[in-house]
Chain A
Amino acid sequence: MTDAAIVTQKLTRRFGNLTAVDGVDLTVAAGQFFGFLGPNGAGKSTTIKMLTGLLAPSSGRAELLGLDFAAHPVEVKRQIGVVPEGMGLFERLTGAEYLQFVGRMYGLDRPTTQRRSEELLDFMQLSDRPKTLIADYSHGMQKKLALAAAVIHGPRILFLDEPFEGVDALAAGALKALLGRMTERGVTIFLTSHVLEIVERLCSHVAIIHKGRLVAQGSLDELRAGISGEEGSKTTLEQIFLSIVGQDGGQRPQLEELSWLM
């Protein structure tokens, strides 16, 4: 049995009358590449925010690496890396300055921060414009920088909210390889993406959240078997996703309504 990296119990978040995340019980084993899926507004980002300290839960608890987040926030944050929604960059710094800032915030010494910053900038192909401010980066470049900042301190869990959005194919390939190597070394990766093909290719385990509730969780094979009723099924993640999330009808737009377009 593998140790659990992330465990949530009845994790709930309410915004006034709206329950964005409703009693989510989640278990992610250490070293797993975990995909967290759901339609728009399902509660994915709210869950990630609660797991990374950006949002306090209304009730329930989250345990990361065996530590209760609410009781040990600083100790937990030291061991996780985050690419939050909107990336959370200080846009008036250069890429190198931002990485050095983040490295120091995580308590790395200056030479280590300097060395890792340079290596990460080279890896992300961001080192050719040392004086360019982040505000002048393209969206893809900002995404790569946010990823670099999330890993500079060598986290044991990495939370990635739409990490490949806007990243070119070349860089995305290198990133996927890097993330794969990290999971081999025991790093847990918790990823949300709307591109189901990416999740299917990268993740070993998946959870699906819909209207704030966790509606499926398990390995891809387990989910396939659950849908088709047979082991070794060739069902795609998209089919699994649509069959689970599209079950309550009325969710999928009716093409007949746009007959004038066809």
Chain B
Amino acid sequence: MADVAHLPGVWEQIRLVAGLRWRILGNNLRKKHNQWDLIGMIFAGVFAGLIVIGLCFAFYFGAYAFLSGGREAWIALLFWGIFLFWQLFPIFTAGFGAGFEFRTLLRFPLSLRAFYVIGLAYGLADFAALASICWLTAIIIGATVANPAVLPAMLLISALFLLMNITLERTIGSWLERILARRRAREMFFALFILFAVSVQFINPLVQRYGRTAQPWVRQVVPYLAVFPPSLAGRAIAGAAQHNFMDTFLGAAGISAYMLLFSVFLWLRFATQYRGEELSESAAPARAVARPVSRTAEKGDALRLLTPQVAAVLRKEFRYLTRNSFAFFLLIMPPIFVLLFTTQFAGRHPTAMKHPISNEFFFPGMMAYLLLILMAPAYNSFAYDGKGIQTFFTAPVSFREVFLGKNLLQAGMLVFELTLSMVAFSYLVGLPSLPVLLATLAAIIFNVTGQMTIANWSSLSFPRKLNFGQMRGQRQSGMAVLVSFGTQILLGGISAPILFMSRWTGDKWLPAEVFAFLAAAAVAGYSSSLNPLAVLAEKKKESLIDALSR
């Protein structure tokens, strides 16, 4: 019989959970290398606090203006703002992962009721909830200053609105926790997040192009929004201001009904968790299937010109590239950026400028920008290898071969991406003159081989483990980022004046000739760097394995 004197009450358990979250945060910051996290958190905290306080004023003045200006119903817009932020912000940050899995509390002797209450209280500790409560308070004050008679209604509606939002947010959150427990789901979520981030770039051009034609459609949709909680809250407050208490009652009843509905969903979700739920990552046992005889080995080897070790690393890198949602989306970015920037800055009718930028400048600039994006991962090229890095050290290979395999894949990916972008570019606005085209190509070779040499050194010297399909804590080493920027600034600083040389000298072919020479020198430098890098890898193996096997 366990020697338990008494079970702690719900409030004591809430206090314990809050203390646990605080302790986890503190301990994370105490870890080695996490001083930057602390500094980053302080900056982010100050920045977020300023935004929240700034928006508090906006909500205050909004509520005041609507109620004192006879536009009481418009207060619904403020509730909509809070509602969308409260529900969407946690979803967009969910991929960063929770530092603490709420369901792990189930190992302790909690009743379902206590689990539910702690779950709701847990939702109040989120940034979105805290910020929203500040804004709701600002609305209450603004509305009361404008019309003191609405205070009771404001308090009632705000309390119901708050409870409804917490319940909905926890319902969505607990479903997300269930869904994101699977690796594939996390990776898909991550991919969707990046897709969303890329799509945001198109909002401005789309609004410019279709904004006017979409207005009637938007007007048709607006009335249907009246049945949702923020509109009901607005209706209730407007009713109180206009002494139409039936509207206040209906609004309050509507929000209560939503709260009840979400509470039932949340209770059912928590009850499933409480009973025990299988969230294992491991594949379920499968029936053995007869495997057809593999023909792969009989086919000709496409990489037969390479040594087996280099070919093996190249194949492995290709598989990792295709299975990494972040790297995959990095591949679709260059053509999208070409499309985006050329329509805005080049061609006959650029959307962002009166006069288009000349192709002679825009093309090399665009290629340099793409290199900036595509070369960044090379500065921490072992990031996704994790514990597998040990295989490179236990196998009878030199790191010369490992780097060759990794760099070949990087080079192949660059060739593919730049070719695709050039095709898109030439289709949209046409290619520049032949001397500029050749000078750009030679500059790319110079730049890429130069960067690869330094990036290989950076990968050995400043390794940082990154996980597939995860955003939380996925930060490159600060030094690797500095080296990357420094190298790109240096090479850009060398390249830019050379590209302008033709203008100063009047010799159109001079930049191409200079870059061809520099490219040959960079290739020779890269080739002669591989053996010293292999020696450096042996020296750095402990720190490399330690950093990547954590």
Q: Which residues of B contact A114 (CB under 8 A)?
A: 294, 296-297
- B287 contact from A75, A111, A128, A133, Cβ within 8 A: A128
Judging by beta carbons under 8 Å apart, are B397 and A54 in contact?
no
For chain A residues 15-64, which have a beta carbon within 8 Å of chain B? 52-56
Tell me, in angstroms, the Cα distance from A111 to B298 when the chains sit together.
7
Residues 92-148 of A at the B interface (beta carbon under 8 Å): 92-93, 97, 100-102, 104-111, 113-115, 118, 127-130, 132-133, 135-138, 141
CB atoms of A87 and B387 under 8 A apart: yes
Per-residue contact bits, chain B 280-299, to A (CB 8 Å; 1 contact, 0 not): 01110011110100101110
B163 surroundings in chain A (CB, below 8 A) = none
**Is the pair B396, A54 in contact by a Cβ cutoff of 8 Å?**
no
Interchain CB contact (< 8 A) of B311 among A102, A104, A128, A136: A104
Q: Chain B contacts of A73 at CB under 8 A? A: 396, 538
Residue in contact with A137 in the complex, picked from B282, B288, B320, CB distance below 8 Å: B282
Establish whether residues A77 and B308, one from each chain, have CB atoms under 8 Å apart when the complex forms: no
Q: Which of B372-386 contact A (CB under 8 A)?
A: 384-386
Q: Is the CB of A89 within 8 A of B308?
A: no
Known contacts A92-B324, A107-B308, A78 near B396 by CB under 8 Å: yes
Docked-complex contact A136 and B289, CB < 8 angstroms: no
Confirm or deny: B468 has a beta carbon within 8 angstroms of a beta carbon on chain A.
Answer: yes
Q: Decide if B277 is an interface residue (CB 8 Å cutoff).
A: no
Question: Is B312's CB under 8 angstroms from A86's CB?
Answer: no
Residues of A within 8 A of B323 (CB): 92, 133
A88 touches B390 (CB 8 A): yes
- The residue on A at minimum CB distance from B402 is A105
* Cα–Cα, bound, A146→B207 (Å): 55
Chain B contact patch, size range: 35 or more
> By the criterion CB–CB under 8 Å, are B390 and A135 in contact?
no
Among residues of B, the one whose C-beta sits closest to the C-beta of A77 is B396
In the assembled complex, how far is the CB of residue B290 from the closest CB belonging to chain A, in whole angstroms?
A: 10
A55-B542, A78-B396, A92-B324 known; A105+B391 contact, CB < 8 A? yes
B103 contacts across to A, CB distance below 8 A: none
Whether B395 and A77, one on each chain, are in contact in the complex, defined by CB atoms closer than 8 angstroms, is yes
Q: How many A-B residue pairs have CB under 8 A?
A: 126
B295 — nearest CB in chain A belongs to which residue?
Answer: A114
Q: Are B298 and A53 neighbours in the complex by a CB distance under 8 Å?
A: no
- List B264-313 residues whose CB lies under 8 Å from chain A: 281-283, 286-289, 291, 294, 296-298, 301, 308-309, 311-313
Q: Which residues of A contact B283 (CB under 8 A)?
A: 129, 132, 136-137
Q: Which of the residues A93, A107, A138 comes within 8 Å of B396, measured between beta carbons?
A: A107
Q: Is the CB of B319 within 8 A of A92?
A: yes
B328-368 vs A, CB cutoff 8 Å, 1 = contact: the mask equals 00000000000000000000000000000000000000000
A107 x B309 contact (CB < 8 A): yes
Given A55-B542, A88-B389, residue A106 in contact with residue B316 (CB < 8 A):
no
Q: Contacting B393 at CB < 8 Å: which of A53, A93, A138? A: A53
Instruction: Check: B178 CB closer than 8 A to any chain A CB.
Output: no
A104 to B308, Cβ gap below 8 A?
yes
Cα–Cα distance between A116 and B283 once the two chains are bound (Å): 24
Neighbouring A residues of B508 by C-beta, 8 Å: none
Residues 67-97 of chain A: 1 if any B CB is under 8 Å from the residue's CB, otherwise 0? 0000001110110101010111111110001
B388 at interface (Cβ–Cβ under 8 A)?
yes
CA distance A24 to B289 in the complex (A): 49
Give A115 to B545 CA distance when docked, in angstroms.
31
Would B291 and A54 count as touching, CB distance under 8 A? no
For residue B311, which residue of chain A has the nearest CB? Answer: A104
- Name the residue in A87, A107, A108, A118 with the highest tally of chain B Cβ atoms < 10 Å from its Cβ: A107
Inter-subunit contact B288/A128 (CB<8 Å):
yes
Measured CA separation A138–B283 after assembly (Å): 8
Return the chain A residue nearest B549 by Cβ: A86
- CB-nearest residue of chain B relative to A83? B394
Check if B387 sits within 8 Å of A89, measured CB to CB.
yes
Inter-chain contacts of B389 with A (CB < 8 A): 88
Q: Closest CB-CB distance, B183 to chain A, in whole Å?
A: 6
A75→B398 CA distance, assembly (Å): 11
Residue of B291, B388, B395 near A106 (CB, 8 A) is B395
Interchain CA distance A7-B385 in the complex, whole Å: 32
Least CB distance, A153 to chain B, in whole angstroms: 9
Please give the residue numbers on chain B whose beta carbons come within 8 Å of chain A beta carbons, in ascending order.
3, 183, 281-283, 286-289, 291, 294, 296-298, 301, 308-309, 311-313, 315-316, 319-320, 323-324, 384-391, 393-398, 468, 538, 541-542, 545, 549
Additional A-B contact list (5), CB under 8 Å, known A87-B387, A92-B468, A100-B312: A75-B396, A91-B388, A92-B323, A114-B296, A136-B183
- A-B contact list, 13 entries, CB within 8 Å: A55-B541, A73-B538, A77-B394, A82-B394, A84-B390, A86-B390, A88-B394, A92-B319, A97-B319, A110-B297, A110-B308, A115-B297, A149-B391
